[in-house]
Amino acid sequence: MPRRLGLPSVYLAAALATSATAAATTVPLAMTPASGLALRPAPSEPTRPYVVTARSRVAARDLVGEVRWRVRRYYTAALPGFATFLTAAELAELRADPRVLAIEPDRQIHPMPMAAPTRPLPGEGTGRGTTVYVVDSGVDPDRVAFAERVWRAFDATGGTGRGCAGHGTRAARLAHEAAPRAGIASVRVLGCAGSGTLADALAGLDWIHRHARGPAVAALALDGAGSPALDAAVRALARSGVFVVAAADAGACRVVPGGAAYSAHAAHLAGVAARHLERHPAAQPPVVASWLKCATAHGAIGQNPSGAPHLLVRNGGR
């Protein structure tokens, strides 16, 4: 079991440089202020934050390497793209670039309500040998009875990884109740105020994509509806072999092509999936979803932050 540790990260004026374990989610060394990025003239018009998805990893690398954009995050695994600040003119220039697949505004991400299901879910076991990555507001080991099974894996917010909003700690408890011997890795993407940014949520998924080892499950009790970049990152993580359970309003489990599941019981369902992976460590996400009896949904599932009791399925996907 890896020991608990805080992974500090430092925000610079023009780029974000994190510790060695998080380096691939930030700008390359060639784009540090020492190389001239910070010397570019200040924009003469307002800038806004965006997430840019490139058509390929090569295209993303080339775009970032041009040093024309104020890059904050550079994603190398879950998404070919980066987070940046753009003026209106720069936005128009990037939209017209054939290497760019999509651009969306960076926006706030909020925690979703979560609860344990009223009926027991299938399977026996303890989750021994598996890891549940809780992508949330961090886990406070002082507020759980299973602190020896928790470690701070990654903090996209620039903090020490320690939970302070409470939502991530509750998600960890629900996962632990279902799989008491699973490791709980805290991947913090939300701040102490309870919300976070799309760019940070993508950084968390990117980190898991690059570092997850062995049977692994990711629990995302977050509102990410309507984000093509987040949809793509979730699908990519599932294709890599990590079973992803994200939040939705309806309690029933729904699975999209690729094996990612959506449910109002995301954190608890992640623990149940860990129980199955304890006995079948080579099971791929679609197989785990089938064992959980998740119904197939065509396209992406939208989480309604208002709490309305319905599941919105977008036909056609992205």
Measuring CA to CA, which residue among 155, 184, 141 is closest to residue 8? 155
pLDDT at 36: 32
Q: Where are the alpha helices (DSSP H) in 96-219?
A: 167-178, 198-211
pLDDT at 183: 97
Torsion of CA 80, 86, 90, 91, to 10 degrees: 70
pLDDT one digit per residue (tens) for the chain, 318 residues: 443 333 333 222 223 333 334 444 444 433 332 223 433 456 678 999 999 999 999 999 999 998 788 999 999 999 999 999 999 999 999 999 999 999 999 999 999 988 877 776 767 899 999 999 999 999 999 999 999 999 999 999 988 888 888 999 999 999 999 999 999 999 999 998 889 999 999 999 999 999 998 899 999 999 987 899 999 999 999 999 999 999 988 767 899 888 899 999 999 999 999 999 999 999 999 999 999 889 987 554 554 333 333 333 332 332
**Cα distance between the two ends of the chain:** 37
What does the alpha-carbon distance between residue 107 and residue 83 come to, in Å, rounded to a whole number?
Answer: 11
Max Cα–Cα distance, the chain, nearest Å? 61
Amino acid making up residue 82: F
CATH of region 109-314, choose from 3.40.50.720, 3.40.50.970, 3.40.50.200, 3.20.20.70: 3.40.50.200
pLDDT at 43: 65
Q: For residue 247, what is the enclosing H or E element?
A: strand 243-247
pLDDT at 252: 79
Q: Which two tokens stand for residue 258?
A: 């690729």
pLDDT at 298: 57
For the chain, domain boundaries: 9-106, 109-314
Q: DSSP character for 291?
A: H
